[in-house]
A = this chain, B = another copy of it.
Amino acid sequence: MDYATETWQALARLRETAPLVQNITNYVAMDVAANTLLALGASPAMAHAVEEVEEFVGIAQALALNIGTLSPAWVQAMQLAAARALQLGKPWVLDPVGAGATQYRTRTAAALARQRPTVVRGNASEILALAGTGAATKGVDSTAASDDAREVARRLAAELGCVVAVTGAVDYVTDGRVERSVANGHPLMTRVTALGCSATAMVAAFCAVEDDALVATAQALAVLGLAGELAARQAAGPGSLRLHLLDALYRLDEATVTAGVRIG
């Protein structure tokens, strides 16, 4: 079966089972990430208190951790949640937002990456920083193309024993041996905040319905990129792109997915 058909089947399973995806994410992304998961068909929850994160992981099907607006109390909650997910065998995904921008971010991302995530998803600058190959970054936007981080991602995946996804004009997903590329997406998506964070949340959602994390990650990125392409056809700018993207995610049907997904 081809990748696009597999992607449709995963999306259909996701909509049918509506997995609960727990997010400990940044303040900027909370609204759009929750809406992305709802439009996709998942059930999002945001819970970050040390008093409840571990118990929450127990009822969730997948976990997404994102350090976009990190602070010590939130990092502690992320570490507890990650440890619990590992213990329970539930997939968890790390988004090392802004790794390389400050030592605190780089250090925190590296520490979480050592807790055996299922998937790490970042832009090229973040993946390079996480691998210790860091050129200077520019805040939370990448200064490198995804292609530049491809080989580093492969080595990082092998070292961490997880899947690493570098997103950009083309996304590269690798487990250290196999690589898949995803050629969906649209440049206007970079003008809408937190779509990278939403991608991470969607990777977690797909990991809840597809055991092969490499496959699940490529599927999630392809579905988001495809929705972005469809949205860009109708959008007059980044405001309308975001709206149409949520509508497109909600409306994706078999014909559109099987014809539009470009996983290679």
Chain A residues with CB under 8 Å of chain B are 20, 22, 26-28, 30-32, 34-35, 38-39, 43-49, 51-52, 55-56, 59-60, 68-73, 98, 101-105, 136-141, 190-194, 235-240, 242-251
Does A251 contact B239, Cβ atoms closer than 8 Å? no
Does A45 contact B101, Cβ atoms closer than 8 Å? yes
20 more A-B contacts (CB under 8 A) besides A59-B101, A59-B136, A239-B250? A20-B138, A35-B193, A35-B242, A39-B238, A39-B239, A43-B140, A44-B139, A44-B140, A44-B193, A45-B139, A46-B68, A49-B104, A51-B71, A51-B102, A191-B250, A237-B248, A238-B246, A239-B243, A239-B246, A242-B243
**Residue of A101, A190, A235, A247 most packed against chain B (CB within 10 A):** A101
Q: A47-B69, A48-B71 are in contact. Are A35 and B238 (CB under 8 A)?
A: yes
- A55 CA to B55 CA, complexed, in Å: 35
Contact of A104 among B38, B51, B138 (CB under 8 A): B51
- Chain B nearest CB: distance from A180 CB in Å? 28
Can you list 26 A-B contacts with CB-CB less than 8 angstroms, sorted by A residue number?
A27-B30, A28-B31, A34-B194, A35-B192, A35-B193, A35-B242, A39-B238, A43-B138, A44-B140, A44-B193, A45-B98, A48-B69, A49-B69, A49-B72, A51-B71, A52-B105, A55-B103, A56-B102, A59-B136, A236-B247, A237-B246, A237-B247, A237-B249, A238-B250, A240-B244, A240-B247
Residues of B within 8 A of A48 (CB): 69, 71
Residue of B nearest to A55 (CB): B102
Residues of B within 8 A of A139 (CB): 20, 22, 43-45, 56, 59-60
- Chain B nearest CB: distance from A65 CB in Å? 15
**Residue of A48, A51, A59, A139 most packed against chain B (CB within 10 A):** A139
Residues of B within 8 A of A35 (CB): 192-193, 238-239, 242
Residues of B within 8 A of A26 (CB): 46
- Chain B nearest CB: distance from A69 CB in Å? 5
- Chain B nearest CB: distance from A251 CB in Å? 6
Does B27 contact A46, Cβ atoms closer than 8 Å? yes
- 5 closest Cβ contacts across the A-B interface? A237-B247, A239-B246, A45-B139, A34-B193, A237-B250
- A30 CA to B72 CA, complexed, in Å: 20
Residues of B within 8 A of A20 (CB): 138-139
